[in-house]
Structure 1
Amino acid sequence: MAAQYEQIARDLRERIASGEYAPGTALPLMRDIAAEYGVSDITVRKAYGLLTREGLIESRRRTGVFVRELPDRVRLTVRNRQIERDELGYYSGPEVQHWRALPHPGGEQTRVTTAPAPADVADILGVETGTEMTVRRRIIGDQNIETHRQLADSWIPAWVTEEVPALAGNTGAGGMYDRVEEWAGRPLEWREEVSARMPSPEEASALLMPDTGVPLLRAVRVTVLPARRKQPERVVEVQDVRMSAELFAVGYPVPRGDSAKWPVRPATSDYYQADAPAD
């Protein structure tokens, strides 16, 4: 059986979804909700806290608690994740061609430092967690829309910076990918995986995200020199890209696998049978 605050949160959630409490409108005062349900203010505060963590409402100092704009009520910018190129070099999709590096609080546009590799980055690079390596940190965004921005940390293994020292400093025209391709004499390739998590306070601040339950959209892009002859594939960078999941979605094509090449064979079993494969 649901606790009282969970029931109140459920009712308010439904009233928000139905439009009874529209985005931007104030919710009733806690004492009024408490009187409606016959509970204490503490119980209502717990219900409001739950809805705040879900990103549905926000508290505005000295003015009350308001319904936030929901992602399904705001047109998301769909990020088509593909590598493109113009006169400035490579960029990751047509929606961000006009984006530029924004200054960090200290004024620098690219913050180059050494730091211990987090576990997932270290795993991709095949090194021990905490291994010191070069990391290039940037804030990239739309200069005309303040909230349209992303954090991008490029983790670069030691062998790459030894071979291409420019990656530990100013990479020049075209950026790090041009420097690596010039050194290697062949093209790079990329692959990505997308996930979500909650932001740290520092990430939320840098991305101008609200102090509510809005997750990060995280794209981890792996840059490789592909295998050739007797040389195995080599990972030259792991880029950790984070942006607000409230403002952005990821778009990508859904190709047919080899087993689904057209023309297809007629199906021979009923999808709704218990032993049918899951979609």
Structure 2
Amino acid sequence: MAAQYEEIARDLRERIVSGEYPPGSQLPMMRDIAAARAVSDITVRKAFALLAQEGLIYSRRRAGTFVREHPDRIRLTVRHRQIERDGLGYYSGAEVQHWRALSHPDGVITKVIEAPTPADVADLLGCDAGAVLTVRKRIIGDPGNDSHRQLADSWIADWVASEVPTVTGDTGFGGMYDRIEDWASRPLVWREEASARMPSPEEAEALNMPSQGVPLLRLVRVTELPGVTPPAPSRVVEVQDIRMNAALFAAGYPLRRGQSATWPVAPATSDYYAAEGNTPSPHE
């Protein structure tokens, strides 16, 4: 049996999703809901906290509680994950060609520091978690829209910092990738993983997004330098940790056919549904 606060949250959630309480509208006061349901203010407060955690509502100091614009009801900007290039150098996706590097709160545009490597980044770089590496920290965004921005931390492999020292300072026209390709005389390649997590207070402030109820879209991009001749292995050059507001942005990837799905395909030889009593396949 659901607790009273869960029942209240369910009722309010249904009203929000149905549009009875549209985005931007104010919810009834907690004390009014408590009186109508004959429950304590604490019970209603727990229901509101649950909806805030889900990203459905937010509070304004001395103003009340309001329905948040939610990703399910707005058109997200799809960030197409493809490397492009123009006169300024490489960038990821046509949607952000006009984006530029923005200043940090202290006025610095690119912070180049030495810092302990996060465990997941270290794993991709092939170094020990906590190893001190060079990281280039940037805020990149739309100069005309304060909420359209991303954080981008470029963790540079130790061997790159040693062989191409310009990546630890002013990289000049084209940036870090151009300097590495100039040095190697061959092109870099990229791969990327997408995930989500809640932002830290510092991340939320830098991205001009709520500190609660809205997750980050996190894209971890791995830059590799292919071997000179196969089967010489690729070397990881950099891992870039990109974070943006998941209420505003989605990542779009092409779905390519794997080797097993090369056209023309062989005829299917079994029925997905028959074995499980017409239960749809998890592949669909």
Task: Give the TM-score band, short-chain normalised.
Answer: over 0.9
Where does 1:48-127 land on structure 2 (aligned, <5 Å)?
48-127=48-127
Segment of structure 1 superposing worse, 239-248 or 267-276 = 267-276
Quote the Cα distance in structure 1 between the aligned partners of 2:264 and 2:237. 40
Q: Structure 1 residue 70: deviation in Å?
A: 1.1
**Percent of paired sites with the same residue:** 70
Look up the equivalent residue of 1:278 and give its one-letter code.
P
Residue pairs, 1:126-145, within 5 angstroms: 126-145=126-145
CA distance in 1, matches of 2:197, 2:212: 13
Q: Match of 2:73, as an amino acid?
A: R
The farther-off stretch of 259-268 and 95-104 is 259-268
1:159 counterpart residue number: 159
Q: CA deviation at 1:227?
A: 2.6
Hey, what does 1:3 align to over in structure 2?
3
**Shift of the alpha carbon at 1:266?**
1.9
Match of 2:282 in 1: 278
Post-superposition Cα deviations, 1:154-202, rounded to whole Å, max 9, x if no partner, equal 0002211111111111000000000000000100000000000000000
Deviations 1:103-129 (A, max 9, x none): 011111100000000000110111110
Matches within 5 A, 1:1-279: 1-229=1-229, 231-274=232-275, 278-279=282-283
TM-score where L is the length of structure 2: 0.95
Q: Which amino acid aligns with 1:256?
A: R
C-alpha distance in structure 2 between counterparts of 1:269 and 1:133, whole Å: 52
Give me the CA root mean square deviation: 1.2
CA distance in 2, matches of 1:271, 1:37: 48
1:278: how far off?
A: 2.9
Residues in 2 aligned to 1:7 and 1:274: alpha-carbon distance in whole angstroms? 38
* Displacement after TM superposition at 1:277 (Å): 5.9
TM-fit CA distance, 1:211: 3.1
5+ unaligned residues in a row in structure 2: which ranges? none
Instruction: Report the residue type matching 1:82 in the other structure.
Output: Q
Deviation larger for 27-36 or 40-49: 27-36
Q: Which residues of structure 1 form unaligned runs of 5+? A: none
Structure 1 residue 213, shift from structure 2 partner: 0.9
CA distance in 1, matches of 2:282, 2:71: 29
* DSSP-derived class of the 1:191 partner: strand
4+ runs deviating over 4 angstroms: none
Q: Point out the more displaced range, 227-236 or 30-39.
A: 227-236
CA distance in 2 between counterparts of 1:15 and 1:37 reads: 16
